[in-house]
Chain A
Amino acid sequence: MEIVEGLELPSRTFTVTRADLVRYAGASGDFNVIHWNERVAKDVGLPDVIAHGMLTMGLAIQVVTDWLNDPSRLLSYGCRFTRPVVVPDDSQGADVIVSGTVSSVADGVASVALRATCQDVTVLGKATAAIKVD
């Protein structure tokens, strides 16, 4: 597969429910109350319980690693947590849509710009992965 600037990676949709937040809290050790307690979340001015930024970041990178089929080619991965993913107390949860575009290729390294949105709002800012290319 040739990796060239402008190449679009297959986009993915990830559903995040309250149960997924509990699961991530346990797996990551991040038990911040705003990720599971609606009363506290609203007390601190949030619309509702929000997903861990690191959960969204963890989901999103699959667009790159699954496409490469090789996580060892990942050189760096970073993002800004611009807007929260608000997760309602229902069985539908929230959908996070992730897409990626190769933004540059130089000196054996390709940069992939990732876009993650929830209800048309960008939730990760400047999300970029650098990958090794041949």
Chain B
Amino acid sequence: MALNPDFVGRTYPPAPAYLVGREKIREFARAVQLSDLVYFDVEVARARGYADLVAPPTYAIRLSMAAAEAVVMDPDLGLDYTRVVHGDQRFEYSRPIVAGDELVCSVTIDSIRSAAGNDMLTTRADIATVAGEHVVTSYSVLVARGTDDGDA
């Protein structure tokens, strides 16, 4: 099923602010097997010039994927979420996320295209502090596999 092209350029109102907690950072850092103490030990992080524990480089996915999911679940878009795989991911950083950041994430549908029977949707999630300081932008390509294609 083709996706509704009218959705390109659409920006969605951000979800309520997300408060980055130390324990969530530690959990995530452990889950991606990080060992640098800058992710675990506040004193180490401060000694290295950070305000608090540093979030792992891919931590922003926690915010951006949740926000993007709300968008792609919009029934008018026409995306069959059961066939969706994460095709591509890119982060562009202004600075690392640190514990204590209060972040808002606004999602825009950057592009929609079809290739080889698959629909590809690029979302851009701009993550900034509540004061408006840009922190990181997360670009995700979601691929909805065509129904006639078993090995994509």
B-binding residues in A (CB < 8 A): 14, 20, 23-24, 26-30, 45, 53-55, 57-59, 61-62, 65-66, 69-72, 74-81
Do B96 and A78 touch (CB < 8 A)? no
Residues of A within 8 A of B89 (CB): 53-54, 57, 78-79, 81
With known contacts A14-B33, A24-B32, A61-B58, A45–B88 Cβ distance under 8 A: no
A-binding residues in B (CB < 8 A): 24, 27-28, 30-36, 38, 48-50, 54, 56-58, 61-62, 65-66, 85-93, 95-96, 139, 150-151
Q: Shortest beta-carbon distance, B96 to chain A, in Å?
A: 5
Q: Shortest beta-carbon distance, B111 to chain A, in Å?
A: 16
Q: Shortest beta-carbon distance, B65 to chain A, in Å?
A: 7
Residues of A within 8 A of B96 (CB): 71-72, 74
Do B58 and A62 touch (CB < 8 A)? no
- Among A28, A72, A81, point to the contact of B31 (Cβ < 8 A): A28
Q: With the chains together, A75 CA to B30 CA distance in Å?
A: 23
Do A81 and B88 touch (CB < 8 A)? yes
Q: With the chains together, A14 CA to B32 CA distance in Å?
A: 10
New A-B pairs, 15, CB < 8 Å, besides A62-B32, A74-B93: A23-B30, A27-B30, A29-B65, A58-B28, A61-B57, A61-B58, A65-B57, A71-B56, A72-B49, A72-B95, A77-B57, A78-B139, A80-B88, A81-B87, A81-B88
